[in-house]
Structure 1
Amino acid sequence: MEKKELPNSTLILVFGILSIIGCCCYGILGVVFGIIALVMSNRAIEIYSANPELYTGYQNVKTGRILAIIGLVLSALSIISLIVSLILYGGFGGIYEMQEEILREYGG
């Protein structure tokens, strides 16, 4: 019998990569792509576990899942650091004022 590709195995890998990249966008995109990749990978693992001899692409699913977990952790750290900086510097206005002060001080 011919082996079939696991459903969405490549897409899971892509979403895992995007979750790592998305952590740079204040963490929001990283969380979204990471959760989607984890949900899809759980479904793919269930399908593969039922009949492992019928499917290929399990390595993509495992790699995508690991990348999604890393992306979620990095995104969580990004969101936490954003919240802490907003609290410490008095919101976005305080952050912009601090940046302007640094630019004035160093002649930028």
Structure 2
Amino acid sequence: MEKQKLPNSTLILVFGIVSIVTCCCYGVLGLIFGIIALVLANKATKLYMENPENYEGFSNVKTGKILAIIGIILNVLYLGYTIFLFSTIGMDGIQEMQRELMEQYGG
């Protein structure tokens, strides 16, 4: 019997990568992609473990799951940092910091 490609294996890998890349979007967007990738990876792992001889592409699932976990951790840290900034210095303080950085580095 010919092996089938594991469902969503490429999508899990892509979502894992996107969750890391988008961690600078206040931690929200990447967190969503990371959680989706982790849920899909768990479903694909269960499906693969039932009949491993019928499926290929499990390496994409494992890699995507690891990237999703890393992305979730980075996004939670960045989201916590953002919440900390908003609670301590507020929106006005953040805008002032951005202005100072633009003057210092942007010209």
TM-score scaled to structure 1, two decimals? 0.89
1:5 aligns with 2:5: yes
Q: Secondary structure at the match of 2:24?
A: coil
Q: Cα RMSD between the aligned structures?
A: 1.9
1:29 aligns with 2:10: no
Q: Which residue of 2 aligns with 1:41?
A: 41
Gaps of 5+ in 2: none
Which structure 1 residue ranges, 4+ long, deviate > 3 Å from structure 2?
A: 98-106
Separation in structure 2 between the aligned mates of residue 13 and residue 104 of structure 1, nearest angstrom: 39
How has the CA–CA distance of structure 1 residues 4 and 105 changed in structure 2, closer, same or farther, with 3 Å as cutoff? closer
Shift of 1:59: 0.2
The number of aligned residues is 106
Q: After superposition, give the CA deviation of every residue in 1:24-57 in whole Å (9 maximum; x if it has no partner).
A: 1111111100010011001100110000000000
**Bigger Rg over Cα:** 1
Q: Secondary structure at the match of 1:23?
A: helix
Q: Secondary structure at the match of 2:47?
A: helix
How has the CA–CA distance of structure 1 residues 11 and 102 changed in structure 2, closer, same or farther, with 3 Å as cutoff? closer
Gaps of 5+ in 1: none
Separation in structure 1 between the aligned mates of residue 54 and residue 69 of structure 2, nearest angstrom: 27
Separation in structure 1 between the aligned mates of residue 45 and residue 85 of structure 2, nearest angstrom: 39
